[in-house]
């Protein structure tokens, strides 16, 4: 099958949707498909093209302005790329990419069916921020892109239900398929809890204070400190400098360390040194770094608002905390006092990631999805 992915993709970033897309593209190439990944908006660095080629993926840059003339391409560059690739199906990833308006029409003209992965970008919780602007964009531009799509791919059942309830664009071929999580062959293992009264908590990803609940994490650590537990928050990622500075001023007594972005095997080696992985998101359809941390056995503490919370807790693969930081502190304190429970969560977390998010398995599910779209058959 000839597959083309289109996204504002970039290698080596903290963006979880980009990394999930990369894992999927590589897994599809490993299964023998002809896979191309078009980077919408920017050229692809030659070194990135070479690296992608080494994994069997063609990485192609499509430089274009995001807003100016987003409804057209006077250069005809993308049309030439698409005609040269002759894909059977196109897969558009993420939302609020104005050039998708032109791309959708081009694919329709070329009689190439396409599917879309919103990756949580249209969740009602996400739409709360800058609501008027996002709704105007949806009704003015993006809705047409979705109406032309053959089907929508959701990462979680909650994302699908929320999309139907708020936007109402249901299709018979829509599917829920989890993200692929590509892991190094030789993974380090969690080193275990060292000092229960001084735990080091880790978060890897974008420093989106409100979305990722970094403010809630610090409030929880403040509540723990009143109970004799002096925890630290260690961040590995990028972004939102002013918001992070404001947090430091609001929580001067809590040690929060910004280590910056780290990737590759070094990321897993650092994860293995922490006591807990904290994902205190106000909403979360997936969380790629969360899955990566669990893959090495680092016990995960996740908010009750995470889409994965119920499933993980039912399997004893993670610790669920309430959105109230004081109540969350009580839960975390209880877990820190029970090393046997932490060890069990560690083991169950490793099993869960390997059983649910194996790239080959996800690529196989996506292959069935594409085939159903091309055949027009119901799942």
pLDDT band at 378 (very low <50, low <70, confident <90, very high): low
pLDDT in tens, 236-270: 998 767 888 899 999 999 999 999 999 999 999 99
The alpha-helical segments, DSSP class H, found in the chain are: 16-30, 46-54, 77-85, 100-109, 124-127, 131-137, 143-148, 157-166, 209-212, 214-225, 241-250, 264-271, 288-295, 309-314, 325-336, 339-356, 359-375
The class of domain 200-356 in CATH terms is alpha beta
pLDDT band at 13 (very low <50, low <70, confident <90, very high): confident
What percent of the chain has pLDDT above 90?
93
- Looking at residue 243, its pLDDT comes to 85
Phi and psi at residue 117, to the nearest 5°: -115, 105
Cα separations in angstroms, 55 against 10, 28, 86: 15, 10, 20
200-356 and 2-180+358-375 share a CATH fold: yes
Q: Where are the domains of the chain?
A: 2-180+358-375, 200-356
Phi and psi at residue 313, to the nearest 5°: -65, -40
pLDDT in tens, 336-355: 999 999 999 999 999 999 99
Fold of the domain spanning 2-180+358-375 = Rossmann fold (3.40.50)
- Structure tokens belonging to residue 11: 């290698």
- What is the total residue count of the chain? 379
């Amino acid at each position: 099958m000839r597959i083309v992915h289109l996204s504002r993709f970039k290698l080596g970033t903290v963006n979880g949707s980009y990394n999930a897309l990369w894992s999927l593209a590589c897994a599809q190439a490993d299964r023998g498909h002809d896979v191309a990944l078009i980077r919408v908006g920017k050229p692809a660095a030659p070194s990135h093209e070479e690296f992608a080629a080494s994994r069997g993926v063609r990485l192609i840059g499509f430089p274009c302005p995001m807003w100016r003339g987003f409804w057209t391409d006077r250069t005809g560059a993308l049309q030439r790329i698409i005609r040269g690739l002759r894909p059977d199906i196109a897969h558009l990833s993420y939302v609020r990419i104005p050039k998708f308006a032109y791309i959708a029409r081009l694919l329709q003209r070329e009689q190439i069916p396409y599917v879309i992965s919103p990756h949580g970008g249209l969740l009602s919780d996400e739409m709360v921020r800058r609501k008027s602007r996002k709704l105007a964009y949806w009704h003015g531009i993006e809705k047409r892109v979705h109406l032309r799509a053959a089907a929508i791919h959701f990462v979680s059942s909650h994302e699908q239900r929320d999309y139907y309830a708020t936007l109402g664009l249901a299709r018979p071929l829509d599917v829920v398929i989890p993200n692929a999580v590509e892991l190094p062959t030789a993974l380090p293992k969690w080193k275990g809890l060292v000092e229960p009264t001084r735990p080091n908590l880790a978060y890897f990803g974008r420093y989106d204070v409100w979305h990722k609940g970094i403010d809630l994490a610090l409030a929880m650590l403040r509540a723990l400190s009143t109970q004799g537990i002096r925890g630290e928050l260690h961040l590995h990622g990028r972004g939102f400098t002013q918001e992070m500075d404001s947090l430091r001023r609001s929580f001067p007594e809590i040690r929060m360390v910004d280590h910056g972005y780290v990737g590759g095997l070094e990321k897993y080696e650092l994860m293995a040194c922490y006591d807990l992985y904290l994902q205190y998101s106000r909403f979360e359809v997936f969380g790629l770094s969360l899955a990566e941390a669990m893959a090495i056995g680092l016990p995960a503490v996740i908010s009750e608002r995470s889409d994965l919370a119920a499933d993980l807790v039912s399997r004893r693969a993670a610790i669920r905390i309430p959105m109230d930081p004081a109540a969350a502190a009580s839960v975390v304190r209880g877990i820190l006092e029970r090393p046997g429970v932490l060890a069990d969560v560690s083991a169950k977390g490793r099993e869960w990631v390997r059983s649910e998010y194996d790239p080959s398995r996800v690529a196989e599910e996506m292959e069935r999805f594409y085939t159903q779209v091309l055949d027009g058959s119901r799942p």
